[in-house]
Structure 1
Amino acid sequence: MAKILSHLKKLDCVLIAAVLFLSSFGLLMVYSAGYPLGYIKYDNGSYFFMKQLQWLLIGFIFFGAAAFFPYKAYGKVIRFLVKFAFLLLILVLLPMIGVEKNNSQRWIHVGSLIIQPSEAVKLVMVIYFACVYAKKQRYIANFRKGVMPPLLILAAVFFLILKQPDLGTAVSILLSCGAILLCAGIRKRHLLLLGTMAGTGIAYFAITAPYRMRRLTSFSNPFQDENGDGYQLINSYLAIDSGGFWGNGLGKSVQKLGFLPEAHTDFIMAVVIEELGAVGLLMMIGAYLLMMFRGVRIAVQINDPFGKLLAIGLTFQIMIQALFNLGAVFGLLPITGIPLPFVSYGGSSLLFMLISAGILVNLSSHVKRRKKREAHLL
């Protein structure tokens, strides 16, 4: 008991507070944004709220477990995790197993639950890259031996997710792993080469698929196709403009009444701004920035290469998703379908975001324990 209490004292309360704020605030906004659709589709306005609450409770259990589970143990099972990730990505593409929605096959049934495997793969790839490149520090300057092997795994994951198809998630994984590579200390010319190859590949896949090309053109000028590809973004603009600084009041969004598609998922931030104004936006951005600050601080202070790269990867994974989502809502980036971390409706995203945050809390506890030992030695 004393050992548990001692561990609790070393938890990062600021980081935990940011996670609790975002996830609880997200639950509230899912209730508000999803109420009309839940009532129309399921004759239950609380439908999406109850589903999200179920996932949030499950997520909190895993968050607590990840906060206490020693992060170094992930390195011992990483081969199994990678194999399991590949199995999931293959299963989701099989006709009798994968669940298709909106012309995409990204989900599988697990009992009564629907899981999106790519959300688990995001976390697995961050752990894998952090583990492998921590071990390759001695020969990281050698491209063939120190850099190349994990990139083959990443390429395979990228193409399997692209088959779903889900370019947005594939790119977010690429960027998270790229952040780990950058901090692992690879040569600048190797980084430039890889960045050029990745950028060229992403551009190719973006412009060769007609629906992706339409997304690129519609986000740059949605008013060219007001009733087609630009419809969602235009209604997002209307919601944001209506909210102003203080908002129209919680629950008083007009756009969620059938005008704004995906109001409780990808475009939940538009509803937040319409109801709570710029104040709501600033609160959420503040929470994300606080998480980023704590994550980078953990990475700087931890003296273990694996822990350092893992903290960087997890932090950037969360921030990249937040940036992709907010950029789409404001028309600064193409719509990718990536949910807002901890906030958007979606069980798989919420669960694995909470696990990622739990690992960050564990890394922070490791830093505090090391500092305490050093203080005793002095």
Structure 2
Amino acid sequence: MKDRLKRFDYSLIITVLAMCIFGLVMVYSTSYTRGTLLHENGSYYFNRQLIFFIMGLVLCTVMAFFSLKSLGKLSPFLVLLSIILLGLVLVPQIGIVRNSARRWIEIGPIAFQPSEIVKTFMIIYFAHIYAKKQAYLDHFAKGVLPPLFILGIIFIMILGQPDLGTAVHILIICGFIVVFSGVRFVHIFMLGLIAVSGIGFFAISQPYRLQRLTSFMDFDPSESYQLVNSYVSIATSGLFGNGLGNSVQKLGYLPEAQTDFIMAVVVEELGIFGVLFIIGGYLFILYRGVQISKQVDAVYLKLLALGVTVQIIIQAVINLGAISGMLPITGIPLPFISYGGTSLVFTLLSVGILINVSGRRSID
């Protein structure tokens, strides 16, 4: 145990903690007016996010010391639990509708978003199953295909909420794990072609999806209200921002600015310093995640490390691309920064897995 503690990647831990604390500050700044108007408490969203942060830290710590071998053995159960949770979302008495989408489960005072939990569970499952199938990866039907049926079920269930953004995010994470596992290039190319074709089909199968996916290219201000106000936030920031707490767009112009568009307020208030801090943090997490994967011998551990790293980085890229108008708006939160309990808690749980892997490195 002492040896593992010495091997933990403390630079990664410090970076994640710093980003979470920065996120708490920005949630407080961004949501104070909304909390006052809706809940008569300017600290309402901050207090909730602080509770989620503490819960996430507890789970992160537990996962940092949890047996990864046992975690792999639990992966089939985690997949079953994922399917059950996603099924419960569609039950009217349990699943709740927010912003015209049924993505949440509400049980008494507790509400959570199962698709955020499923991201972590699918990383564990894919890392475990493709590590076990190393001897069969040249055989598409026997080694590569079976886990993809599970991924297809998960994808369709999340798409039915509807939540194309999260469904595609999980597809990308699992796709990277398949690539990293050593699958033959011809199989990767074929699967990539099928995935792109499938996403394209689902994107154009409903008019609202197509409109949302193309609005960022030639947007109508009446249809892209969030993006327009995101641009205003960025444009009025100047190089050094207007000062912490001095955003104008958060005062009712940028809807629910504390969630997936929080970066626009960061830019407006802190300018280049806020941008460099956040992007620098993600780049450092990417670097450490890749290094950790290189420093462990077991394929399972490598795939876990890379899966968690890809989860965080791809989510950040999707979010930052959306607020800058370079990618479609998907509603995906910014890791460690955006307000959102399920996302923060389970992203920190995933970080706990990465820290656990770092404790098993060969760095002597």
Query: Would you call these one fold, judging by a TM-score over 0.5?
Result: yes
Percentage of matched positions with identical amino acids? 53
Q: Report the equivalent of 1:313.
A: 307
Q: Pick one of 259, 270, 292 that aligns with 2:286.
A: 292
Cα offsets for 1:254-305 (capped at 9, x unmatched): 0000011121001000000000002101111001111111101111111001
Work out the CA distance in 2 between the residues paired with 1:132 and 1:186.
Answer: 13
Q: CA deviation at 1:215?
A: 1.3
Q: Report the equivalent of 1:63.
A: 60
Structure 2 counterpart of 1:360, one-letter code: L
Work out the CA distance in 2 between the residues paired with 1:129 and 1:110.
Answer: 29
Q: Report the equivalent of 1:361.
A: 355
Distance 1:67 1:110, change over 3 A: farther
Q: Pick one of 162, 179, 182 that aligns with 2:179.
A: 182
Q: CA deviation at 1:347?
A: 0.1
Q: Runs (4+) of structure 1 moved beyond 4 Å?
A: none
Q: Report the equivalent of 1:219.
A: 216
Structure 2 counterpart of 1:13, one-letter code: Y
Q: Report the equivalent of 2:30.
A: 33
Structure 2 counterpart of 1:105, one-letter code: R
Work out the CA distance in 2 between the residues paired with 1:138 and 1:37.
Answer: 55
Q: Pick one of 269, 281, 295 that aligns with 1:275.
A: 269
Work out the CA distance in 1 between the residues paired with 2:363 and 2:274.
Answer: 37
Q: Which moved more, 1:326-335 or 1:31-40?
A: 31-40
Gaps of 5+ in 1: 373-378
Q: Which moved more, 1:190-199 or 1:6-15?
A: 6-15
Structure 1 counterpart of 2:150, one-letter code: I
Q: CA deviation at 1:42?
A: 1.0
Structure 2 counterpart of 1:318, one-letter code: I
Work out the CA distance in 2 between the residues paired with 1:10 and 1:314.
Answer: 18
Higher normalized helix content (fraction of residues) = 1
Alignment check: 8 A CA contact 1:299 1:307 kept: yes
Structure 1 counterpart of 2:327, one-letter code: L
Gaps of 5+ in 2: none
Q: Report the equivalent of 1:116.
A: 113
Match of 1:303, SS state, is coil
Q: CA deviation at 1:235?
A: 0.7
Q: Report the equivalent of 1:234.
A: 228
Matches within 5 A, 1:144-223: 144-222=141-219
Aligned residues: 364
Q: Pick one of 317, 321, 325 that aligns with 1:323.
A: 317
Q: CA deviation at 1:111?
A: 3.9
Does structure 1 residue 43 correspond to structure 2 residue 37? no
Cα offsets for 1:113-164 (capped at 9, x unmatched): 2110011100011111110000111110110001000000000000000010
Work out the CA distance in 2 between the residues paired with 1:201 and 1:7.
Answer: 43
Alignment check: 8 A CA contact 2:94 2:107 kept: no
